[in-house]
Structure 1
């Protein structure tokens, strides 16, 4: 969305509200816990900028690597500050994650792709994203043209999305893998201001 607004200054989008997080997960057929991954293991991560940085943040939060202070949404493996376990990184098309799971010891897979392949991020991954500071960028939002950001009917969509009956339906349909994020708009805007200050 940030990139879109920069490329379309006359047609900017505005956030109406938060919806859910689809957790990125660490999967393995060889290891049952993140702590079991041995030194020198190859880890497959997505090869597109947004998901590469997202995957590295997940590995950082798992305690496997550290990242440079200026790490951002466009960073990649060159921005790893320390790799004490000497992991090797194999960049793949993120849609192929489930298919390479048998060939690569550890694979990072996004929830929608995992779910389509019969994997449940909250049950089958050995580590996954949670709603926290480092995952704010990955929260899905309802957005509209900036000129419509104060439209009462559009704002009502946010309330409807978080309605208990609708959440019950979403949880059942997606097996609880779309983690509801019902945060005030300020939760998201603080991050946007921080990005633009940088």
Structure 2
């Protein structure tokens, strides 16, 4: 082989090597292990992730967190499933399951567990569950996961009974007995704190993230709230991402950051102890 041909061969090899390096770097920066992670969140959860984003520990892990606020869980899940948002932090496992069931194309996966906060029954008119009159109207969420969760809470409070077939996405048609003849009004569950000020509403089922935004503490202000036990594991909040990104190494770093002592102290102090840490493997949710 002539020297000219050798040089040409060498140049071709070098060119292909540079192309390969470029492709690998591009894949790393925009693919599965991207260093800048956009987290979509709602309300108080967004506050937590804004705090985590500024920690030196986050930088030490080689990632940068950008938090984007949403007001609607469905649009946030859709954006996450489509890859427009990398990870979201706002929902329970049951809420995610309901989204996946309704979505025919893009699915979500769980990265890890974060916390459980009790749902409560709130009222501006009554001080005790027993004071709610027969025939009263109770406001309940208009999404399947929180509708079912609220109905289970009403049953635990002794106000209704549910059919044996009642599941995590069941609705009011699965009520077996309604001895107080309560009426149910479906509402956007982010409006709960405002709804209880309506005199036509006797009580409302409100999740704690929304309650906190309305200056309500589930441990102090609710008439009745969920007890923390195995029966409420579907209500554990999680970090979610597009199904294809579940094994993303950098996304998994978010879980260890969340469960660090510094972050947990911040959460306890900031939210009056109403966000109860749950550090369980993902398999715990499906057992």
TM-score by length of 1: 0.81
CA distance in 2, matches of 1:101, 1:146: 37
Counterparts in 2 of 1:92-171, with a 5 A limit? 92-102=187-197, 103=199, 104-171=201-268
Note if contact 1:44-1:89 (Cα within 8 Å) is conserved in structure 2: yes
CA distance in 1, matches of 2:113, 2:280: 6
CA distance in 2, matches of 1:37, 1:4: 33
Is 1:176 the counterpart of 2:273? The answer is yes
Post-superposition CA distance 1:172-196 (Å, at most 9, x none): 2222222222223232121xxxxxx
1:60 match: secondary structure = helix
144 and 25 in structure 1: CA distance in 2 versus 1, 3 angstrom threshold: same
TM-score by length of 2: 0.58
User: Which structure: larger Rg?
Assistant: 2
Note if contact 2:98-2:169 (Cα within 8 Å) is conserved in structure 1: no
Note if contact 1:57-1:134 (Cα within 8 Å) is conserved in structure 2: no
Post-superposition CA distance 1:68-125 (Å, at most 9, x none): 1111233221110011222222222323322231312212122222211211111111
12 and 75 in structure 1: CA distance in 2 versus 1, 3 angstrom threshold: closer
14 and 119 in structure 1: CA distance in 2 versus 1, 3 angstrom threshold: same
Give the CA RMSD over aligned residues.
Answer: 2.3
Post-superposition CA distance 1:114-168 (Å, at most 9, x none): 2112111111111112333342222111234444444554434323211221101
Is 1:28 the counterpart of 2:123? The answer is yes
Note if contact 2:120-2:218 (Cα within 8 Å) is conserved in structure 1: yes
CA distance in 1, matches of 2:240, 2:129: 36
Gapped runs of 5+ residues in structure 1? 191-198
